[in-house]
Amino acid sequence: MKFARGSRRGRFLERTIAGLDQAMERTLYAEDTATAGGLLQQMDARVKAGGLFALVVAAALARRMPAIAAIFALAVALAAVSRLSLRVLAGRVWAGTLVFTGILAAPALFLTPGVVLYRLPGLGWPVTKQGLTTASYLMSRVETATTLAALLVLTTPWMRVLKSLRALGVPVVFVAILGMAWRYILLLLGTALEMFESHKSRAVGALKGAERRRVAAASAGVLLSRAFHMSGDVYLAMQARGFRGEILVLEDFTMKRLDWLALAAFASLAAAAVWAGR
Amino acid sequence: MTLFETEGLTYRYQQVKAVDGLTLSIQDGSRVALIGANGSGKSTLLRLLDGLCFAQEGAVRFRGQELKEDRFADDAFAFSFRRQVGLVFQSADVQLFNPTVFDEVAFGPLQLRWPKTELRERVREALERFGIAHLSDRVPHRLSGGEKKRVALASVLVLDPAVLLLDEPTAELDPRSQSQLIDLLVQWGGGAKSVITATHNLGDLEDIADRCVVLDRGRLVADRSPAEILRDRELLERTNLVHAHRHKHGSGATHSHPHVHSSEGERSAGPCTPDPSDST
């Protein structure tokens, strides 16, 4: 194997291992924040799931930017009182959503007919006022919806999220797939980490570009195959202990005073947002 | 009473036969060791006995009832079977999928709809018995190999099944933990329970079983007492359970003789059982 020493680009295996380790930590991060003891953490998971979903629907129905912005501001405030780091939210939720939605919304800037505000230098493509409005609405709605979804996932143990979805009538197949996906991600990351560490233990120096691509391509296939095989075994291990698709957790759901108040607040705020944004 | 019965049982992974025309009968309360080299079909047979995969040819019966996929669609049968039969997988990793160790051990009892007060008590007892109570709130994925194995064992034994299927139970355990586990299995259920153990750790054979079934490429090649199997050097060599290699003894002399390996996970040899014909 040929190696190139020293360059940042050359430390491919080290960077991949560090990245996988970080991804594993991120996946498990929600389990830590779910027990942080903030406002949303104390709430019944069904109220949270139903209430936050109502706000997502309100953001989707609202036709005025101030109404969407108000829901977004409410989501940020809920994150703050639930002891979630806004920096983490910005890095893991808002930035990612901005990039992906931005790519989807970009054509609307140029293709929507209307008043031309600006022309791209060199290409001459027109950015229209109507296109900008359409893209802004799409991005703000998606940012708001993903923030609300993140609030649910980051303040509720995953098994309780799944159980609350079942309580709200989501079909068992869908919930079981979500449950398996979480386990699959952990297995995939763990297997990838072992593979790259094993590769590193047999390599000296940094890999050259072509070698990096070869390692990445070969690893991807083996990784998927191994992780798929292991996730099948995980499902068998669940079946062996009596799993029949239904999500069961130790603690029963009980509605407390806070939950009834929260339910009323979510319903009122969602209705107000729809009314104000009509 | 017959617990498990297989008749011409065959199971293939694509074109490869993992279990090949196996006919076997296991009685209630017996302790059976399934031994064989890697790829001999031990793990697949355990999965077939646990109703996780199903006969492609022949049949598997549990207390006279054939284990078929459509039978497990019936909740009453599935719950009754899972209450009676527990399987500990070879790899602890596949068995750990809950956010905390406590949740992991509670998973089986929850699925089997145990009353929650009793469930919490029994889970705490199981954690104590396996010496993992201090790990109760830890994430299972972050534990060491030995700790993971203990959690995996606790998560099945908490159910107190009448029949226990074990796939290489001592793999990934340090020698002390291996010994503790063997003691636990010997004492488990006062010796009245059925235990079927897949292993190639010949050193523990006589402790964990009173009957030994040898598999080779999915076929049954011997079915005798552990003592008889261990004396049959030719059989053990033919089925790749012992081999001869050169090594040093305390005197410094290097020689070779047939050698028993204690487990897959150990690189160095386990109990050395020299060939009686070897004079050194």
| Residues A191 and A258 occupy one common structural domain | no
Question: Whole domain around residue A149: which residue ranges?
Answer: 41-157+254-278
A253 has pLDDT over 90: no
Is residue B269 less than 8 Å (CB to CB) from chain A?
no
What is the distance between the alpha carbons of residues B121 and B158, in angstroms, rounded to a whole number? Answer: 10
Nearest CA to A222 out of A203, A194, A186 is that of: A194
Beta bridge pairs of residue B255: B247
Averaged pLDDT score across all residues of chain B: 84
CB B194 within 8 A of CB B164: yes
Rg, Å, chain A Cα set? 23
Q: Are residues A18 and A142 in the same domain?
A: no
Verify that A205 and A140 share a domain, yes or no: no
d(C-alpha B30, C-alpha B193), whole Å: 7
**pLDDT of B264 over the 60 cut:** no
Average pLDDT, stretch B140-165? 89
Long-range CB contacts (within 8 A, 24+) of A163-169? A163/A45, A163/A247, A163/A248, A163/A249, A163/A253, A164/A44, A164/A45, A164/A46, A164/A48, A164/A49, A164/A253, A165/A49, A166/A246, A166/A247, A167/A46, A167/A253, A168/A46, A168/A49, A168/A50, A168/A53
Task: Give yes or no for a contact between B103 and B138, defined as CB atoms under 8 angstroms apart.
Answer: no
The answer on A54 and A12 residing in a single domain is no
Same domain, A111 and A229: no
Q: Does B160 touch chain A (CB under 8 A)?
A: no
**A189 and A258 both lie in a single domain:** no
- Chain A residues in contact with B82 (beta carbon < 8 A): 240-242
Domain ranges of chain B: 2-247+254-260
Q: Which chain B residue's Cα is nearest to A230?
A: B94
Residues 6+ apart with CB under 8 A from A62: A68, A71, A273, A274, A276, A277, A278
* C-alpha R_g of chain B: 20
Q: Are residues A46 and A127 in the same domain?
A: yes
Paired with B34 in beta bridges are B198, B213
Regarding whether A83 and A98 lie in a shared domain, the answer is yes
Query: What is the pLDDT confidence band of residue A60, given thresholds at 50, 70 and 90?
Result: very high
Average pLDDT over residues A157-171: 82
Which tokens belong to A12? 């491919």
Q: How far apart are CA B195 and CA B87, in angstroms?
A: 10
Quote the CATH superfamily of domain B2-247+254-260: P-loop containing nucleotide triphosphate hydrolases (3.40.50.300)
A128 and A71 share a domain?
yes
Closest CB to A242 among B111, B139, B141: B111
> What is the rounded CA–CA span in Å between residue B211 and residue B202?
13
Indicate if the pLDDT at residue B265 is higher than 50: no
Reply yes or no on whether the pLDDT at B260 is more than 70: no
Q: Could you give the CA distance from residue B182 to residue A186 in angstroms, rounded to a whole number?
A: 31
- Chain-chain contact of B99 with A234 (C-beta, under 8 angstroms): no
Q: Which of A101-110, B7-16, B211-220, B248-257 has the lowest mean pLDDT?
A: B248-257
What mean pLDDT is predicted for residues B227-246?
A: 82
Average pLDDT over chain A, rounded to an integer: 82
Is B52's CB within 8 Å of A240's CB?
A: yes
DSSP state of B57: E
Q: What is the pLDDT of residue B246?
A: 54
Specify the pTM: 0.71
SS3 A155: helix
Note whether A29 and A128 are same-domain residues: no
Give me the percent of chain B exceeding a pLDDT of 70: 85
**pLDDT band, residue A193 (cuts 50/70/90):** confident
Beta strand pairing status for B31-35 and B194-199? Answer: parallel
- Smallest CA-to-CA distance from A151 within A259, A75, A91, A47 is with A75
Confidence of residue B242 (pLDDT cuts 50, 70, 90): confident
**Which residues from A are below 8 Å from B95, CB to CB?**
234, 237
Q: Do B8 and B58 meet the contact criterion of CB atoms below 8 Å apart?
A: yes
CB within 8 Å: B99 and A230: no
B4 to each of A106, B71, B149, how far by Cα in Å? 64, 16, 26
Side by side, the strands of the sheet bearing B2-13 are B16-27, B2-13, B57-62, B65-66
Average pLDDT rounded to a whole number, residues A99-118: 85
pLDDT above 80 for B279 = no
Q: With pLDDT > 90 as the criterion, what percentage of chain B qualifies?
A: 52
Residue B69: predicted pLDDT: 92
CA B166, chain centre distance (Å): 2
Residues of chain B contacting residue A225, judged by C-beta atoms under 8 Å apart: none
The helix/strand/coil state of B22 is: strand
- Chain A positions in Cβ-Cβ contact with residue B119 (cut-off 8 Å): 250
For residue range A4-52, list pLDDT tens digits in order.
444 554 466 677 777 777 776 766 677 778 877 889 999 998 999 999 9
Task: Please give the tally of structural domains in chain A.
Answer: 2
Identify which of A13-17, A79-83, A89-93, B248-252 has the greatest average pLDDT. A79-83
Q: Are residues A102 and A190 in the same domain?
A: no
